[in-house]
Amino acid sequence: MRRRRHGLRDRKVSELLDQVRITIIKGNASEIARVSGASIRTKGVDATKVEIDLEILARTLAVRRQATVVITGKVDIVAGDKGIYRVKNGDALMTRVVGTGCMAASVIGAFAAVEPDSRQAAACALACYGIAAELAAEKSSGPASFKAALFDCLYNLDQPTVEKMQRIETERVL
């Protein structure tokens, strides 16, 4: 049964990407590898180890699908036709709370609604989300208190804090 579910998921993802204009494709390393066509096993939404150069994978998929591709992880990769951003904000406690990846997608969507450059929107969204996670981790004693603090830190995040704490590296491709 598990094999059929992967087959169905793969077919439906391909169908959506072929039939709908999708601006941002986001997932963890194994999800994006699977979407790109790599022969990789996935475990639901859990990331599995991927032995592929993730930046090349993201850039190739971005060019092929004419979209921004986001791979979340210890270092988030945001790729598009003009280059790659590496976002180095975040905290390991994010991996201990179910739904942080979905929440990241929501934050990216909110930024993309007001910033026409989807690559820049995604990188800035992930930096802000990661900064909020770093601040939340300082106030937390574990995953439950981290989750509550993350919401509060996102709500209270301000521009001076973002400017001081953001860690985004840029690699332009000509």
CATH number for the domain whose boundaries are 2-172: 3.40.1190.20
Is 70 exceeded by the pLDDT of residue 124?
Answer: yes
Give CA–CA dist 30/32, Å, rounded. Answer: 6
Residue 134 tokens read as: 């770093």
The answer to whether 106 and 64 have CB atoms below 8 angstroms apart is no
* Percentage above 90 pLDDT, the chain: 73
Minimal CA–CA distance to 80: which of 121, 48, 130?
Answer: 121
Give SS3 for 72. Answer: strand
| 113 membership: H or E segment, kind and range | helix 100-114
pLDDT the model gives residue 3: 47
Is 60 exceeded by the pLDDT of residue 45?
Answer: no
Q: How confident is the model at residue 139 (pLDDT cuts 50, 70, 90)?
A: very high
Give CA–CA dist 131/153, Å, rounded. Answer: 9
For residue range 72-84, list pLDDT tens digits in order: 999 999 999 999 9
Question: 111 versus 45: which is more confidently predicted?
Answer: 111
Is 60 exceeded by the pLDDT of residue 28?
Answer: yes
Is 70 exceeded by the pLDDT of residue 62?
Answer: yes
